[in-house]
Amino acid sequence: MIKKLLLLLAFVGVATYLIVGVQTETSNEAFTAPIKIAMSTTPLSSPLIIAQELSLFDKHKVHVELLPVRGGHRSFTMMSNGEVDLATSSESVVMFNSFLRQDFTVLASFVESDNDLKLITLKSASITEAKLLEGKNVGMVESSASEFFIYAYMILTGNKQVKFNRVFMDASELGPALLSGRVDAISIWEPLGYQLNKEYGDQISQFQTRGIYNLSFNLVAQKASLENSMESYVRVLAAIDEAQSYIADNPKRAKSIVSDFLHIPVTELEWGWSDYLFRLSLSNVLLSNLQTQARWAIATGSVVDTKGMPDFRLLIDGRALEQAGGLVTDL
Amino acid sequence: MKVTLRLKILLIVSLMLTSIILLSFVTLKEIQMQTNSELHQVSDIEHKIDLMSSELWLLQQYHDEDALTQTRVAHEELKALLDEELFSQNSKNTIVANLVRMNANIGALLDLSQKDLDSNFRHGITSPAGMLSARYNMTIQSMNEDLGKLERLAIKDSELSQRKILYAVVILLIVGSAVVLILTLLTLKSFSTNLNALTLGIKDLTKGNLNSRIEVKDTDELSVLAQQFNLMKRSLEETTVKKELLQLEVERQTKELQQQREEFQHQANHDSLTKLYSRGAFEEQMQTAIARCGRTNQSAALLFIDLDRFKVINDCHGHAAGDAVLIQIAQKLLKTVRSSDIIARIGGDEFVIWLEPIENATQVITVIHKLTEELAIPIQYQDLNLVIDASIGVSFFPIDAIELSSLLKVADDNMYKAKEIEGTTFQLTSKVTVGLSDAKMA
């Protein structure tokens, strides 16, 4: 009778395995070479931070080194200099650089925000409307979202004709420049806007700019590295995808991890958190955004020595995202 | 496990399996309905976004108040719809929240369009209309992207739940069927084993074998039946053994009674000391003997023997000595006469001997001589040599008498006569004495 019972159990086991087990995919590939990512120290980089802190890169069998840098434009520079494999940059940075070089490619967009950039003035300057910026000094980071944002705002609010002086500087210098009166207004991204607000809230005022501009943060790689590192990039994207699911399911814990990593209080993080849309995608939205900005850049002369409009389709490569199981639409 | 319990479990498991199948159908139906409802919701949102998208196109084409109003209506409708949409999963609600925000952005952009209506309408990216157009397009595309994601999520979730239910049902059915199979096999085995054992037991009983027992290994009903069968067999065996023992006992007691009866008869017919016939038995024997002699015309003689000086032995050496003497005398008498002759002790020291047949007195006298010779031999008792004399009276049939009492009387008289006459040990009647020399008396 025991033999019969063992046979039955074996039968049940095999049947269960055939039904359930076959569905489970196994991945036993060896770790690949380390991937260096120059990561902008902004909450927009949260998916990367979470993936790193929860060892999701390890889980997806890819060794990743995160190198924190101030701003996506710097990150892009490091990538193009070959210091790192991947950069996290806004589409504005991509757009500006596309006029200079064609040796990079956008792998995926991993976060969007419709309220990441802020236009801030000193209360004492009494600049209550956009048209009052006429002849004023406006601080911004050259060839970045900061630059495009102020122009987009002026155009959308029908103040295109208002002439102001562009004062380019580093992101970290924008706040002190405004407070010291060197500039009358600044176009600045978070969390710098929040920090300024928190410390000097009584001295500054902020324009209502939500929905004016949609910022996206993208993972950018050198085209040349694509063939050799495609497998690793796929794994990086898969880890980011899992990190984003974690953020959606455990927002509180995710915020705490990011706050610890960036050394900023959770309250500061909360400030812009609801503006973030964490999702891996690569669609015509990005293409549209890049083209819009490029057209503006050409029209306003923000870029010089151009050979005309770049073909952004050549600067976007959806293969890695597709393999990672993310969203790639209309490309 | 008891067979009824097994059957009950089988019934319950079977009912459970049926319930699971029914429940899974109901659940699948519910999931399908929920999926359908979610897909309908997605479809509604899609429809509203499409509507707003076409209104926005009109706004961009005609750039007038009417188009803007229509777009605002579409925008508000979408807003109302999104506000009421609620999905079961967080991930879907997150997407809805995104749509709500993007729709809010459209709202903000519409406000800017309102302002732009008043200005000179111009195309190009550096014009508000151009920039707005780009923003509208981007936002609508983004919304469509999210919508697609929402749709895929709804379908994926439904597939996942359906698959989960399917797996659960398959596993439960496999496990349940295995339980049913095992229980059935066990019950079948138990039935066949126990019924075989019972059949063999009954066959054994039919052959009359009461010793064998059915081996009981389990505690189920059939095993209980087998146990009861064993008990019945033991009881039967015990009853049979009792009957046989009783029979033997009856036989033993009957034999004992028979022996006792024979002993009593022997005791009644014989003298307890000398084992010779008692007086009563002697008389009975004599009736037959006299009748026989009368029928066959044969002669016979009756010797009446009385021991002399027996009283003295009794008195001098005690009754034990007397008894010993009497036993020895009886031995001597038996030794001397034929086995067909009848010897009896009819008094304390009186014996009678019936000699049959006799042909003449000489034969009798020869016997008497043999007797007196034998009796003359002293009897040893312990360290004593006891000498006994006997006086013998004789009577003859049919010469002296033909009846016992008369024959006894004649012989007794003759015995006394012999006692009275010194030196004489025996006495015959005169009639006989006369014809002593005759060859034949009768």
Strands A137-140 and A185-189: parallel
Q: Residue B240: its pLDDT value, please?
A: 87
Q: Residue A246: its pLDDT value, please?
A: 92
User: Would you place residue B155 in the very low, low, confident or very high pLDDT band (cuts 50, 70, 90)?
Assistant: confident
Q: Does A324 reside within a domain?
A: yes
A284 CB neighbours in chain B (<8 A) are 141
Query: Is residue A328 scored above 80 in pLDDT?
Result: no
Residue A317's nearest CA partner among A157, A144, A102, A147 is A102
Measured between CA atoms, the residue of chain B closest to residue A2 is B182
Residue range B343-374, pLDDT digits in tens: 999 888 899 999 988 888 888 889 898 988 88
Mean pLDDT estimate for chain A: 86
CB A150 within 8 A of CB A207: no
Query: Is residue A220 scored above 70 in pLDDT?
Result: yes
CA atoms within 13 A on the CB side of B406: 10
Q: Which candidate from A158, A288, A300 shows the least CB-CB separation from B134?
A: A288
Query: Are residues B285 and B385 both part of a single domain?
Result: yes
Mean pLDDT of B299-319: 88
**At B411, which CATH number?**
3.30.70.270
Chain A to chain B Cβ contacts (< 8 Å): 109
Share of chain B above pLDDT 90, in %: 19
Measured between CA atoms, the residue of chain B closest to residue A209 is B108
A249 CB neighbours in chain B (<8 A) are 90
Q: Where a domain ends, among B184, B202, B217?
A: B184
CB B441 within 8 A of CB B361: yes
Query: Is residue B166 scored above 60 in pLDDT?
Result: yes
B102 CB neighbours in chain A (<8 A) are 114
- Alpha-carbon B309 to chain mean position: 80
Q: State whether B141 and A212 contact (CB < 8 Å).
A: no
Query: Are residues A90 and A157 both part of a single domain?
Result: no
Residue B239's Cβ-count burial label (10 Å; 0-12, 13-18, 19+) is exposed
Q: State whether B138 and A285 contact (CB < 8 Å).
A: yes
Q: Residue A25: its pLDDT value, please?
A: 43
Q: Does B114 reside within a domain?
A: yes
B79 CB neighbours in chain A (<8 A) are none
Q: Which candidate from A12, A288, A327 shows the least CB-CB separation from B178?
A: A12
Most A-contacting residue of B6, B135, B167, B186 (CB-CB within 10 A), to test interface:
B135
CA atoms within 13 A on the CB side of B278: 12
Query: Are residues A108 and A121 both part of a single domain?
Result: no
Q: Does A5 reside within a domain?
A: no
The DSSP secondary-structure symbol of A288 reads H
Q: Residue A255: its pLDDT value, please?
A: 94
Q: Which candidate from B141, B175, B181 shows the least CB-CB separation from A284?
A: B141
Cα-only R_g, chain B: 71
Query: Are residues A298 and A167 both part of a single domain?
Result: no
Query: Are residues A239 and A161 both part of a single domain?
Result: no
Residue range A157-207, pLDDT digits in tens: 888 888 999 999 998 899 999 999 899 999 998 888 888 988 898 989 999
Q: Where a domain ends, among A187, A206, A225?
A: A206
User: Would you place residue A2 in the very low, low, confident or very high pLDDT band (cuts 50, 70, 90)?
Assistant: low
Q: Where a domain ends, among A206, A225, A258?
A: A206
The range of the structural domain enclosing residue A292 comes to 32-113+215-328
A281 touches chain B (CB under 8 A): yes
Query: Are residues A45 and A87 both part of a single domain?
Result: yes
Measured between CA atoms, the residue of chain A closest to residue B166 is A19
Please tell me the total count of domains within chain B. Answer: 2
A283 touches chain B (CB under 8 A): yes
Q: Residue B361: its pLDDT value, please?
A: 84
Residue range A43-64, pLDDT digits in tens: 999 999 999 999 999 999 999 9
CB A192 within 8 A of CB A178: no
B106 CB neighbours in chain A (<8 A) are 211
Query: Are residues A67 and A121 both part of a single domain?
Result: no
Measured between CA atoms, the residue of chain A closest to residue B171 is A16
Q: State whether B91 and A300 contact (CB < 8 Å).
A: no
Query: Are residues A197 and A232 both part of a single domain?
Result: no
Q: Which candidate from B105, B142, B167 shows the least CB-CB separation from A285?
A: B142
Rounded CA-CA distance B109/A211 in Å is 7
Edge to edge, the sheet with strand A86-90 lists A62-69, A32-40, A86-90, A215-222, A104-113, A276-282, A327-328
Rounded CA-CA distance B266/A163 in Å is 170
Q: Does B221 reside within a domain?
A: no
Q: Residue A142: its pLDDT value, please?
A: 86
Q: Does B244 reside within a domain?
A: no
User: Would you place residue A222 in the very low, low, confident or very high pLDDT band (cuts 50, 70, 90)?
Assistant: very high
Residue range A300-321, pLDDT digits in tens: 888 876 678 899 999 999 999 9
The range of the structural domain enclosing residue B133 comes to 3-184
How far does B115 lie from chain A, in Å, by closest CA? 8
CB atoms under 10 Å from CB of A164, counted, come to: 20
Q: Does B193 reside within a domain?
A: no
Please tell me the total count of domains within chain A. Answer: 2
Q: Does A19 reside within a domain?
A: no
Q: Does B228 reside within a domain?
A: no
ipTM of the complex: 0.78
- Hey, is A282 helix, strand or coil? strand
Query: Are residues A105 and A132 both part of a single domain?
Result: no
Q: Residue A24: its pLDDT value, please?
A: 47
Query: Are residues A107 and A127 both part of a single domain?
Result: no
Query: Are residues A107 and A124 both part of a single domain?
Result: no
A296 touches chain B (CB under 8 A): yes
Q: Where a domain ends, among A171, A206, A241?
A: A206
A2 touches chain B (CB under 8 A): no
Interface of B with A (CB under 8 A): 90-91, 94, 98, 101-102, 104-109, 112, 115-116, 119, 124-128, 130-132, 134-135, 137-139, 141-142, 145, 148-149, 167, 170-171, 174-175, 178, 181-182, 185-186, 189
A19 touches chain B (CB under 8 A): yes
**At A173, which CATH number?**
3.40.190.10
A163 touches chain B (CB under 8 A): no
Residue A51's nearest CA partner among A276, A278, A228, A322 is A278
Most B-contacting residue of A7, A155, A160, A309 (CB-CB within 10 A), to test interface:
A155
A289 CB neighbours in chain B (<8 A) are 134, 138
Q: State whether A12 and B174 contact (CB < 8 Å).
A: yes
Q: Does A27 reside within a domain?
A: no
Which of A53-67, A208-222, B271-285 is most confident? Answer: A53-67
Query: Are residues B174 and B30 both part of a single domain?
Result: yes
B125 CB neighbours in chain A (<8 A) are 155, 292, 295-296, 299
Q: Does A11 reside within a domain?
A: no
Residue range A273-290, pLDDT digits in tens: 888 888 888 888 899 889
Query: Are residues B40 and B166 both part of a single domain?
Result: yes
Query: Are residues B328 and B179 both part of a single domain?
Result: no
Q: Residue A316: its pLDDT value, please?
A: 93
Q: Does A105 reside within a domain?
A: yes
Query: Are residues B173 and B284 both part of a single domain?
Result: no
Measured between CA atoms, the residue of chain B closest to residue A288 is B138
**At B72, which CATH number?**
1.20.120
CB atoms under 10 Å from CB of A236, counted, come to: 28
Q: Where a domain ends, among B184, B208, B234?
A: B184
A277 CB neighbours in chain B (<8 A) are 98, 101
Query: Are residues A122 and A94 both part of a single domain?
Result: no
Q: Residue A26: its pLDDT value, please?
A: 42
Q: Does B222 reside within a domain?
A: no
Residue A145's nearest CA partner among A108, A112, A104, A107 is A112
Q: State whether A214 and B138 contact (CB < 8 Å).
A: yes
A292 touches chain B (CB under 8 A): yes
Query: Are residues B12 and B150 both part of a single domain?
Result: yes
Query: Are residues A229 and A254 both part of a single domain?
Result: yes
Q: State whether B142 and A5 contact (CB < 8 Å).
A: no
Query: Is residue A1 scored above 70 in pLDDT?
Result: no
Q: Residue A63: its pLDDT value, please?
A: 93
Q: Residue B437: its pLDDT value, please?
A: 42
- Alpha-carbon B348 to chain mean position: 70
Q: Where a domain ends, among B150, B184, B218?
A: B184
Q: Does A6 reside within a domain?
A: no
Query: Are residues B288 and B180 both part of a single domain?
Result: no
Q: State whether B137 and A288 contact (CB < 8 Å).
A: yes
Distances (CA, A) of B66 to A262, B20, B61, B117, B393: 49, 60, 12, 11, 185
